[in-house]
Amino acid sequence: MYRILVAVACAAALLLPGTGADAAVAPEPTFSGYLINQQSGQCLTRISQRHVHVYLLMQPCVYDQTQVFTQRPTTVKGGLFEFVDYVGTCLRDPDLSRAPYCTDGPDPEQEWSVAAVSPGVYRLTNHLSGHVLAISDDPADPAPGTNYPGYDDASVHWQLLPKDAI
C-alpha cells in the first residue's frame, strides 16, 4: 500500500507546474521585431546615443535595425520582459530614465508586462512606475513617453510585428 501511495505522489508531482519534467523548461520564446503604435502607425525607433542618453522617436516603419527590439523574459516563468535594441540598450520608462544599457539581473525600471488588448495588439506596462508605454498627445513631439495605467486608447496600444514582416 505504501509503495502505491509513493508512486501516485511521484506521478502527481510530475504534473504540477514547475516540478518534474517541466522544471527545466526555458522561459517563453522571445520576440524580435517592430513596436508599432496603433494611433500613429509609426515604429518606436532608437535614434542615437550621446553620453548616457538614448533617444527614442516615433518614425515611419522601414526595414531598419534601429527599429527592431528583441523581447527577452526576465523571469523563468515569464510575465516580465525587457525590450532590447540592436546595440543592447533596454527600453525603460521614458519618463524615469535614459540609462543606456541593460543592467545585469532583474531591474524593474527596464521590465515590462505585456497584456493583450486584441489579437496582435498589446499594452506594455513598466514594472517600476506602473505606467503604460504611450506616444505623446502633441503631434509636434515625436518622442514616446508613458501614461497612467487607466488610460486606454490607441496611443497606448502596440502591435508587435516580427522583424521579417517589413
What DSSP string describes 93-120? -TTT----SPPSS--TTT-EEEEEEETT
Cα–Cα distances (Å) from 102 to 30, 46, 89, 123, 142, in that order, read 16, 14, 6, 21, 24
125 contacts 109 by C-beta, under 8 angstroms: no
What is the pLDDT at residue 36? 95
CATH of the domain at 125: 2.80.10.50
**Domain-located, residue 9:** no
pLDDT value at residue 20: 41
- pLDDT at residue 51, rounded to an integer: 55
149 lies in some domain: yes
The total domain count for the chain is 1
Residue 16 lies in a domain: no
The answer to whether position 7 is within a domain reads no
What's residue 46's pLDDT?
83
Share of the chain above pLDDT 90, in %: 25
Beta carbons within 8 Å of 57's beta carbon, 6+ residues apart: 45, 47, 142, 143, 144
> Is pLDDT at 33 greater than 80 in this prediction?
yes
pLDDT digits (tens, 9 = 90+) for 67-109: 999 998 888 777 899 998 888 888 887 766 656 577 777 788 8
| Contact assessment for residue 57 and residue 19, using Cβ atoms and an 8 Å cutoff | no
Does position 4 have pLDDT exceeding 60, yes or no?
no
Residues ≥6 apart with Cβ < 8 Å to 85: 46, 66, 68, 69, 70, 91
| CA distance linking residue 42 with residue 157, whole number of Å | 12
Q: Strands 81-84 and 43-50, how do they pair? A: unpaired
Tell me what the mean pLDDT of segment 150-162 comes to.
86
Domain range for 70: 25-165
In a domain, 122, yes or no: yes
Q: Which of 124, 90, 94, 87 is nearest to 104 (CA)?
A: 90
- Amino acid at position 124, single letter: L
In a domain, 128, yes or no: yes
Mean pLDDT along residues 17-45? 69
The larger pLDDT score, comparing residue 65 to residue 150, is at 65
Indicate whether 12 belongs to any domain: no
75 belongs to a structural domain: yes
